Amino acid sequence: MFLLPSLALLVGIGLAPFFYVLILSFHRYRLTWSDRPWEFVGLDNYRYVMNWERFWDAAWNTIVFAVGTTLLSFAVGFALALFLSQRFRGRGILRALVIIPLLIPPVSVGLMWRFILHPLLGLVPWIIKSVTGVTVSFFETPAMAMFSLILIDAWEWFPFMFLVLLAGLESLPREPYEAAYVDGANRYQIFRHITLPLMRPVIAVAVLLKFLISLKVYDIIYTVTTGGPGTATETLSYLIYRQTFAYFWVDRGSAMALVYEYLIILFAVLFVKYALVKARAG
């Protein structure tokens, strides 16, 4: 009985829009149609999406992006967490400084980096040029543009990884370390055989969360490359956004959003099943 209000809220907020999108995806409807009724078209929208090369290109781009930024932000975040979990003076200030990128709105991050990486006026190309004499253009080729986006996104998100992993490190039990120390294990051995196994569940959660967040990337793509050059950096959420809110084709957009959602759920389930369960067991 006491659950009813919250259940109603859950249905209202979570499930109602989902079913709306589901129903919409079986119809033909545009936002510009004022009084034309929805026309039932069965699986037409899905057929279109499944056969649309560009959708699968975008799906591939999304995965490349998500894997790249997850690995990079994990590597940087974990290294920093290990470093800043040690005791030394100024640790508090450094920890606070590391968080800063996470506090900047993604749109600002995108715009900021677009100018930092500007080949003529940007700071990074200028430094590279004065050291090596080579002019680097960060968005010129498809591969380079994707790499730059991963770099920007990882910059924004490594503090997230850092926070989660630091919290994990701080909550580790002290006893195994003391025992290892007494046994004369070196730093690498302690890391390899104590820290890493103990941290595995935390790492799995952090990586899963970041990966799922990255699959939904939109703001950085929008502000930095708008999916270009060509369609090299077009991700699924950007493609769906264009269909739905720039072209007002909400029917096709809904079908795409649902396919996309199933893909994400699939990833999450696979991940939980293999990585997380394995991490727990190990």
Partner 1 sequence: MNTKVVVPTVVAIIVIVAAVLLLTRGGEQAPTTIRLYMEDMVETAYLEKLLPEFEQQTGIKVVIEKASYEVMREKLISVFKSSEGYYDVIIVDNPWVAEFAEAGWLVPLDDFLAENPQLNVDDYLTSLWWTVGKYWKDGKVYMLPWYNYALALMYRTDLVNTPPRDWAEFYSLAKQLTDPQKDFYGVAAQARRGYKVVEEGLNYVYGFGGRVFDASLRPVINSSQAVEALFLYGRVVFETAPPGAINWEFDEAFQAAQSGKAAMMITYNWMIGALNNPEQSQTAGKWMVAPVPGGYAVLGAWGWAIPHNAPNKEAAFKFLAWVASPETEKKLALMGHAPVRKSTFLDPEVNQKYPYMKTLLEVVDNSLPIVPPVTVGEQIVHILGQYFSESLLHVKDFEEGKISEAEAKALIKQELDKAAQEIYELMKTEGYYEQQVQLPPPWGPG
Q: Minimum distance between the CB of residue 221 and partner 1, rounded to whole angstroms?
A: 11
CA 149 to chain centre: 11
Say whether residue 227 binds partner 1 (CB under 8 A).
Answer: yes
Beta carbons of 237 and 106 less than 8 angstroms apart: no
Neighbours of 158 (CB within 10 A): 25
Stretch in the footprint of partner 1 (CB under 8 A) among 7-15, 132-140, 155-163, 172-180: 132-140
Which is nearer to partner 1, 46 or 48 (by Cβ)? 48
Say whether residue 228 binds partner 1 (CB under 8 A).
Answer: yes
Cα–Cα distance between 156 and 210 in angstroms, integer? 11
Say whether residue 85 binds partner 1 (CB under 8 A).
Answer: no
Which is nearer to partner 1, 74 or 139 (by Cβ)? 139
Say whether residue 60 binds partner 1 (CB under 8 A).
Answer: no
**Which residue of 95, 242, 268, 276 would you call a contact of partner 1, by CB under 8 A?**
242
Which is nearer to partner 1, 1 or 120 (by Cβ)? 120
Cα–Cα distance between 281 and 7 in angstroms, integer? 34
Stretch in the footprint of partner 1 (CB under 8 A) among 32-40, 62-70, 92-100, 176-184: 32-40
Say whether residue 32 binds partner 1 (CB under 8 A).
Answer: yes
Cα–Cα distance between 214 and 254 in angstroms, integer? 20
Say whether residue 147 binds partner 1 (CB under 8 A).
Answer: no
Cα dihedral 197, 199, 204, 205, rounded to 10, equals: 150
Cα–Cα distance between 68 and 153 in angstroms, integer? 10
**Which residue of 140, 261, 262, 277 would you call a contact of partner 1, by CB under 8 A?**
140
Say whether residue 118 binds partner 1 (CB under 8 A).
Answer: yes
Say whether residue 48 binds partner 1 (CB under 8 A).
Answer: no
Instruction: Map tokens 């003076």 to a residue.
Output: 89
**Which residue of 4, 93, 120, 131 would you call a contact of partner 1, by CB under 8 A?**
120
Say whether residue 269 binds partner 1 (CB under 8 A).
Answer: no
**Which residue of 11, 43, 91, 141 would you call a contact of partner 1, by CB under 8 A?**
141
Instruction: Tell me the number of residues near partner 1 by CB under 8 A.
Output: 32
Say whether residue 139 binds partner 1 (CB under 8 A).
Answer: yes
Structure token pair of residue 224: 């930095």
Cα–Cα distance between 202 and 195 in angstroms, integer? 11
Interacting residue ranges for partner 1, rule: CB under 8 A: 31-34, 114-115, 118-121, 135-142, 145, 222, 225-231, 242, 245-248
